[in-house]
Amino acid sequence: MGDNMLRDKYMRAGGTGSAGLWVKSGSGLIMFAGLGLIYAGLGFPGSKKAIRGISDAINQPRRTAEVASLGVGTILVLTAAKK
């Protein structure tokens, strides 16, 4: 029984995934929001609706929305990595 408790303690402390290696605790939402904006800005599948929404929200053309989402997404990811 003692061995299982020790193993469980280390499993919980390690967390899951590799994002914890370069993103501090509590910054996951910022990182994933930034990655989503970068994904949309690069024009990957499914991003057309997001870019259309961003374009309508800022009242600018689609290309401006793509560049803005890339810039803001990059800033968010770098902020999450720095925190």
Domain that holds residue 34: 18-82
pLDDT band, residue 80 (cuts 50/70/90): confident
Which pTM was predicted? 0.68
Beta carbons within 8 Å of 1's beta carbon, 6+ residues apart: none
Name the more confident of 27 and 16: 27
Q: Answer whether residue 6 is part of any domain.
A: no
Q: Answer whether residue 49 is part of any domain.
A: yes
Q: Answer whether residue 7 is part of any domain.
A: no
pLDDT tens-digit series, residues 39-59: 999 999 989 999 999 999 999
Number of domains in the chain: 1
Sign of CA dihedral 54, 58, 61, 64: negative
Q: Return d(Cα 77, Cα 70) in angstroms, integer.
A: 11
Q: Answer whether residue 13 is part of any domain.
A: no
Please say whether the beta carbons of 73 and 34 come within 8 A.
Answer: yes
Q: Answer whether residue 8 is part of any domain.
A: no
- The yes-or-no verdict on residue 2 having pLDDT over 60 is no
Name the token pair of 83: 């925190």
Q: Answer whether residue 4 is part of any domain.
A: no
H runs (alpha helix) in 1-83: 2-14, 28-41, 48-58, 62-82
